[in-house]
Structure 1
């Protein structure tokens, strides 16, 4: 009984409470990761999408030896090529999952393209885009749907 009273008085005041679906929507809009069928990912935070290729894609490509990124200031449309990844096995275009303006690129990839192999969905990001049409995100897959997509491709 004493433990129950202690936990109620100590932990409950510090537990965040989300009272309505508008609050949930605000949290979801703050940071969301989506995937394309062509194995690009986009992580969205405050209207800016960070884009790269998925772990599945880098694994299929093999050792990456060169990465081409877009130029800051480029305006891109959804599905436009924004760069390329070359490996010992193949070369592949990277397409933008959304429309918008390129506001940053990962310059570290020029010096160390293997970042894509080592950390494709974190340090190996390619570009950041200020999203001009957030509704385009609705056409992309969440993590569960993307995992199912990858499984279907393998079978």
Structure 2
């Protein structure tokens, strides 16, 4: 009995300390094209500690390389009569993000030279191959809900 209690106490202590240092964040991923398509792009909207955390942009170059950029959140605005939030690229490019359909985002520039629909991106095992994405939203509805709670306010 005493041995069982000690092992239980050790297990509880380890699980408490393993929780420290973890972000416990969530991420909503949206993509244009599939990961292996030549025009692949994706946005990852992170939330941590009950607030917006970071925005990551990933794209495939013309040579086929995958590149990543950190973007900045630039506040709320209106685009084509819809509530939008703005993001800024490191080169100063400003884009507007609106909800397009139930699980789709419209990402576009003010002048319309860039305009694409991004769908929820599943991150996890396919046919039993791959690893589970713990912080990822589980579906498009959860992703949109996360954006409404933290990015559209």
- After TM superposition, the score normalised by the length of structure 2 is 0.32
Determine which structure has the larger strand proportion and give its number.
Answer: 2
For CA contacts below 8 A with separation 6 or more, give which structure has more relative contact order.
Answer: 1
- After TM superposition, the score normalised by the length of structure 1 is 0.31
Determine which structure has the larger helix proportion and give its number.
Answer: 1
